[in-house]
Amino acid sequence: MKSIYLDNNRATKIDPQVVKVMETLYNDNFGELHALHFAGAKSRKIYNEALEKVYASIHANDKDTITFTSGAAEANATILYSTYLNYILTGRKNSIIVGEREPESIMQMVDFLRSQGVRVHTIPVNGDGVIEHERIYDYITPRTALVSVSMVDGESGAINPIEQIAQACSKYEVAFHTDATHAIGKIPIDMQDIDISYLSFSSETLHAPAGCGVLYLKEGCDLLPLIRGNRSQAEALRGGPLNLTGIASLGKAVELASDALDFEMQDTKDLRDELEEKLTQIEGVQSLVPWALRSPNTLLLAVEGVESEAMLYELNRDGIAAYSNTVYPYGEWDRKALPSAMGLDKKLDHSTIGFALSRFNTQEEIEKVVESFTNAVEYLREFMPKDQK
Amino acid sequence: MSKNEMMMDSFWENYPFKIQMLSEKPKNNGSLTEEDAKNLEGSLIGCDYGSVESGEWIRFYWVIEPATKRVIACRYQMFGSPALRATADMAALLCRNKNPKEIEKIDYKNLEYFLRDHPNSPALPDTRRYLINFVLRAIKATVHKVQGIEAESSPIVCECANISLDDIKATIKNFKIDNLKELADLTKAGAICKECISHDTYKAPREYYLDDILKETLKEMEAEGTKKSAIPDKPFKEMTPEEKRAAIDATIDEYIRAMLVMDGGDMEILDIKENGVNTDIYIKYLGACSGCASASTGTLFAIEGILKQKLDPDIRVLPL
């Protein structure tokens, strides 16, 4: 049985071209970045090339700073700790504003900061599943230390109104951070257009191996490193030897993803749209976030009368990997379920199924998914009496 | 944290074969109608338990034979995970051909044991054990409906798990739970939004918190425990004959009887006599113990040893 992977918002298949880059690094002797000898020189060349590609992929200014971390989680933690130590503990600022559905790395840090006495405001999502950016004006003051809202929600694919939030932040001169892990390679990111102070993203959703991330700082923004031990500017914001294989593969991956934005992402979007159209024709199946507000590879459905894990189990039996965040105790089950957050029927809370496509998915795979999904819905609804659906 | 805690839990891939089989090919799912009940010459009882909003819902259909009150047909419909489906299927199988009183006796150990592949390996991962308790509560609700007992209204403590105060207290007592992690594993209470765990100044106040319930119930259990072992607080030799008998009974109940019952045996005290400095206890073995070769050697020495250690060194045990 051929397996079909549709869980690309959490981990992705490594692109063969990225594998080639990694093979070169694994099969040769690359020295430490600061070494004077030939092996160090080879490493520096690889590092500089990757850095160049990352700058280009988000259209960052040369005066902005980009540093590599172990992932978006570390980048997010660095930004929040640094804000806390630099601005809140010193009494210069007093509060933080975050979106309601931020990744765990932000939510758990925010919980910690709250326990330390920091005032934390959360902005809810509206009926479309995107952050209600007007609500930011309820909380924002010049004493706000940081606003953090992710660019795209990893579960629903909802594209948050980053431009409007960035505008509000510039108006009050407040630092703005966005986690772009689920946006990079899916939607264009142009740092020339939006006024973002900090940006972070990870390698695992880019068809590169997990374990490498990017932390972007706008010119003029400051940051205290979480891990110290730098020997050069490259390590100034994150000490310790750099993960050269990770960096090289991330560099290749962002390059491929940027190239793919034009054509391949459009193909992925067409496949996703076809999947969406066919699946939402089934009675009682609805797509949670409107088409225009969603990243091109993601489809999150609510299926009446079908429990998420039961559906995942049936799909898995057919070799299809999908996802759901409402399966206790696996995954991010402890956050408020999206249907409830959007104000839909609470009965849908345990009935969400997500599909995140990638450029490696094919037409045949989508047809197979439609067939399996339709059969599974029919089978699982037999377990429910009509009066409960 | 230990190595075991650091290891990733296995999920579907390590479910026992029975759970896989019952969730993939359930045998007892479906509904029963009044017509089915008529054909079987019995009366139909349907009982709903749980809620779709909390992720687990089940409806049992029982056809009860009027003469013997036995469940002659049992089916179920449900909303929930594959593991719940397997558990409900096994429960439906176990309920068949039993009367409500016998069904009420099905407990966690029985149901869990029937779901195991191997006697030594648990049927479900720790975090999924609440499913078995959920099905047992559903069975209890159905039995109550059959018996015409109206469910006592108990306030819901955790909305995410849809579990009431009484059910939480009962679970704490039955499983002798002393921490919230285990409580969450066995009831799912406090596992999802975590708002019901303890008071948080940043959140709206609630009437009940799991933290407080656990502490209160543990105190209650402690009080009940001390009441049960009401051995007078004085040396054995100074006790009156009635007090001596009570002390011996309590010690046997607490330390000895469970050991004998596990092997299918039991014992009873026939008489207690004072014999100079010694206290002679005449006992009779019951069940598998009577006739057992060890009854006059190892078992006897063990019983005598425990009584000597706990009560008085001059106790002698004489089996008749």
- A121 vs A139: CA distance, rounded Å: 7
Chain B (61-120) residues lying within 8 Å, Cβ to Cβ, of chain A = 77-82, 85
Taking phi over 0 as left and psi of -120 to 50 as alpha, with beta for the rest, A3 belongs to beta
C-alpha torsion angle, residues B64, B68, B69, B71 (rounded to 10): -50
Q: Does B19 touch chain A (CB under 8 A)?
A: no
pLDDT tens per residue, range A278-322: 999 999 999 999 999 999 999 999 999 999 999 999 999 999 999
pLDDT of B237: 80
CB A272 within 8 A of CB A295: no
User: Which chain B residues have a beta carbon less than 8 Å from that of A349?
Assistant: 53, 55
**Interface predicted TM-score (ipTM) of this complex, two decimals:** 0.90
pLDDT tens per residue, range B131-170: 999 999 999 999 999 988 887 788 999 988 889 999 999 9
pLDDT band at B232 (very low <50, low <70, confident <90, very high): low
CB contact under 8 A, A385 and B59: yes
Q: Does B192 touch chain A (CB under 8 A)?
A: yes
Locate the chain B residue with the closest alpha carbon to A345: B53
Locate the chain B residue with the closest alpha carbon to A306: B79
Q: Does A121 touch chain B (CB under 8 A)?
A: no
pLDDT of B153: 83
Q: Within chain A, what is the greatest distance between any pair of CA atoms?
A: 75
pLDDT tens per residue, range B18-50: 999 999 999 999 999 999 999 999 999 999 999
- B180 vs B191: CA distance, rounded Å: 9
Instruction: Select the residue of A305, A313, A333 nearest B12 (Cβ to Cβ).
Output: A313
pLDDT tens per residue, range A178-201: 999 999 999 999 999 999 999 999
- A76 vs A78: CA distance, rounded Å: 5
Tell me how many residue pairs between chain A and chain B have CB atoms under 8 A apart: 63
Q: Does B158 touch chain A (CB under 8 A)?
A: no
Q: Does A330 touch chain B (CB under 8 A)?
A: yes
CB A178 within 8 A of CB A150: yes
Q: Does A116 touch chain B (CB under 8 A)?
A: no
Q: Does A317 touch chain B (CB under 8 A)?
A: yes
Backbone φ and ψ for B45, nearest 5 degrees, come out as -125, 130
Q: Does B23 touch chain A (CB under 8 A)?
A: yes
Q: Does A326 touch chain B (CB under 8 A)?
A: yes
Where in the sequence of chain A do the CATH 3.40.640.10 domains occur? Answer: 16-259
- B315 vs B127: CA distance, rounded Å: 48
- A343 vs A102: CA distance, rounded Å: 18
CB contact under 8 A, A313 and B52: no
Best to test chain A binding among B81, B134, B183, B193 (most A CBs inside 10 Å): B81
- Other beta carbons within 10 Å of B293: 8
Q: Which is it for the CA torsion B150, B152, B153, B154, positive or negative? A: negative
User: Which chain B residues have a beta carbon less than 8 Å from that of A329?
Assistant: 127-128, 191
CB contact under 8 A, B77 and A307: no
Question: What's the whole-number average pLDDT of chain A?
Answer: 93
Locate the chain B residue with the closest alpha carbon to A334: B192
pLDDT tens per residue, range A352-361: 999 999 999 9
pLDDT band at B248 (very low <50, low <70, confident <90, very high): confident
- Between A177 and A235, the higher pLDDT residue: A177
- A119 vs A95: CA distance, rounded Å: 5
pLDDT of A231: 86
CB contact under 8 A, B55 and A307: yes
Q: Does A333 touch chain B (CB under 8 A)?
A: yes
Query: How distant, in Å, are the alpha carbons of A301, A302, A318, B50, B252 from that of A373?
Result: 11, 13, 10, 26, 61
pLDDT tens per residue, range A149-166: 999 999 999 999 999 999
- From A263-272, B51-60, B144-153, B261-270, the region with the lowest mean pLDDT: B261-270
* Minimal CA separation from A162 to chain B, in Å: 28
Q: Does B129 touch chain A (CB under 8 A)?
A: no
Best to test chain B binding among A96, A111, A118, A313 (most B CBs inside 10 Å): A313
Locate the chain B residue with the closest alpha carbon to A311: B81
Backbone φ and ψ for B35, nearest 5 degrees, come out as -65, -45
CB A193 within 8 A of CB A187: no
Q: Name the token pair of B79.
A: 């909303």
* Minimal CA separation from A111 to chain B, in Å: 11
User: Which chain A residues have a beta carbon less than 8 Å from that of B81?
Assistant: 307, 309-310, 313, 327
CATH of domain A262-384: 3.90.1150.10
* Minimal CA separation from B28 to chain A, in Å: 11
- B142 vs B151: CA distance, rounded Å: 10
CB contact under 8 A, A383 and B188: no
CB contact under 8 A, B194 and A334: yes
Q: Which helix (H) or strand (E) holds B43?
A: strand B43-51
Class of domain A16-259: alpha beta
- A299 vs B175: CA distance, rounded Å: 43
User: Which chain A residues have a beta carbon less than 8 Å from that of B23?
Assistant: 313
Backbone φ and ψ for A201, nearest 5 degrees, come out as -155, 165
Q: Does A334 touch chain B (CB under 8 A)?
A: yes
Best to test chain A binding among B49, B192, B197 (most A CBs inside 10 Å): B192
Give every strand in the sheet of A144-148, ordered side by side. Answer: A65-69, A213-217, A198-202, A175-179, A144-148, A95-99, A119-123
* Minimal CA separation from A197 to chain B, in Å: 29
pLDDT of A375: 96
Structural domains present in chain B: 10-150 (3.90.1010.10), 152-228 (no CATH), 236-319 (3.30.300.130)
CB contact under 8 A, B52 and A347: yes
* Minimal CA separation from A57 to chain B, in Å: 35
Token pair 């469940």: residue:
B71
Q: What pTM did the predictor assign?
A: 0.84
Residue of B111, B87, B67 lying closest to B26 (CA atoms):
B87
Token pair 């089915």: residue:
B36
pLDDT tens per residue, range A100-131: 999 999 999 999 999 999 999 999 999 999 99
User: How large is the angle between the packed helices B180-187 and B210-228, nearest 10 degrees?
Assistant: 100
Where in the sequence of chain A do the CATH 3.90.1150.10 domains occur? Answer: 262-384
pLDDT tens per residue, range B186-229: 999 988 888 888 887 777 888 899 999 999 999 998 888 755 55
Q: Chain-centre distance of CA A46, in angstroms?
A: 26
* Minimal CA separation from B59 to chain A, in Å: 9
Question: What's the whole-number average pLDDT of chain B?
Answer: 87
pLDDT at A327 over 70: yes
- B264 vs B289: CA distance, rounded Å: 8
If DSSP codes are grouped into helix, strand and coil, which group holds residue A198? strand
Locate the chain A residue with the closest alpha carbon to B52: A347
Query: How distant, in Å, are the alpha carbons of A81, A180, A208, A257, B190 from that of A187?
Result: 29, 10, 18, 10, 38
Q: Which helix (H) or strand (E) holds B212?
A: helix B210-228
pLDDT of B150: 83
